[in-house]
Amino acid sequence: MDLFILTLTAFVAAILTFFSGFGLGTLLTPVFMVYFPPDQAIAYTGIVHFCNNLFKILLVGKHADTRVLMRFGIPAVLAAVAGSWLLLNLPNQQPLLRYECFGQWREVMPVKLLISVLLLAFASMDLIPYFGRLRFSPGMLPLGGLLSGFFGGLSGNQGALRSAFLVRADLTKEAFIGTAVVVSTFVDLTRLGIYAGGLTMGATGNQVPTVAAAVGAAVAGALLGNRLLQKVTMQWIQRVVALLLILLSLALGSGLL
C-alpha cells in the first residue's frame, strides 16, 4: 500500500507539473516524509524530480524559447547560487507563528510567508480580468529569473514563481512548457550541487526499488501529459497555474508546507 500511494502521487503530480511547471516536489516530498526521515525524503524526491525533468527535456525541450532562456534562465541560475549559499549560511530562522493542527505543530516561517504573498499577488493577476490582458515585457524576464532562482535556492520553491512569470511571457503552450523544463533542470543542478556540500541527504541505496517505482510513475505521468498537450489551450494552462498558485501560497503561508 505504501508503494502504491507513493507511485500514485508521483504519477498524478507529474501530470499536473507537466502543464503548470511546478508541483511534483511540492506534492511528493510530504508523502515521502510520511514513510522516511526528512533527509531521505528530500533525497528521494530530488532524484525523482531530476529524472522526470531529464525525461521531459527529451519530450518537449526542443520547444524551449531561446530568447527567454537567455533572459530568464541565466539570471535564475546565478540567483540560485546566491539563494543556496544563503540557505547554508543563514542562522536558524525563528518562526513567526507556531500553532497546533490535527495533532501536529505547524510553523509559519518568514521566507515561506514572503513567497506566499508573492504567489497570491501573481495568482490574482490571472483571476482579475484587467490583469488577464497584461503581459510581461522582455525587460521583466531577468527580474522573474532572479526571483525564481533565488527563492528556489533558498527554500526549494522555484517552480511557482517561474511559472507565474513565464505564463505571461507571450509564449505558446509548447514553448512555455519546454522553457520551464529546461530552466528547472539547470536550476536544480545548480542548487542540488551546492546543497550536496552542506546538507545531509541520507542514504538512498536501501530504497532503490521504491525510488525507481516513483521515477517510473513520474515518467508515465509525463508521457500522458505530453499526449494531452494537443488537447489543452494556453488559457486552460493559465487557469491551472492560477489555481495551483493560490493553493500553494495558502499552504506555505499557513505553515502546512
Burial 214-223 (b: 16+ CB within 10 A, else e): bbebbbbbbb
Between CA 14 and CA 18 the distance in angstroms is 6
The tally of domains found in the chain comes to: 1
Which amino acid is located at 155 in the chain? Answer: S
Between CA 47 and CA 41 the distance in angstroms is 10
Between CA 16 and CA 36 the distance in angstroms is 24
Cell numbers placing 65:
524559447
pLDDT digit string, tens, across residues 62-114: 999 999 999 999 999 999 898 888 877 766 667 777 877 777 777 777 767 77
* Domain interval for residue 100: 2-254
Q: Is 144 in contact with 21 (CB distance < 8 Å)?
A: no
DSSP states along 85-140:
HHHHHSPPPPPSEEEEETTEEEEE-HHHHHHHHHHHHHHHHHHSHHHHT----GGG
- CA-based R_g, the chain, Å: 17
Between CA 109 and CA 94 the distance in angstroms is 7
pLDDT at position 140, please?
A: 82
CA distances, 23 to each of 15, 17, 20, 100, 206 (Å)? 9, 5, 8, 25, 26
Per-residue confidence of the chain (257 residues) as pLDDT tens digits?
Answer: 577 888 888 888 888 888 877 778 777 877 787 777 665 676 677 788 888 888 999 989 999 999 999 999 999 999 989 888 887 776 666 777 787 777 777 777 776 777 677 667 666 655 665 555 555 667 788 988 998 888 777 766 667 778 878 877 888 888 988 999 999 888 888 877 876 666 554 544 567 788 888 888 898 988 998 888 877 776 777 677 777 777 777 777 777 76
Longest dimension (CA), the chain: 53
**Residue whose C-alpha cell reads 505553515 in the numeric block:** 255
Residue 231 DSSP class? G
Cell numbers placing 19:
502543464
Give, rounded to a whole angstrom, the gap between the first and last alpha carbons of the chain. 24
Between CA 88 and CA 74 the distance in angstroms is 22
Q: Is 134 in contact with 169 (CB distance < 8 Å)?
A: no
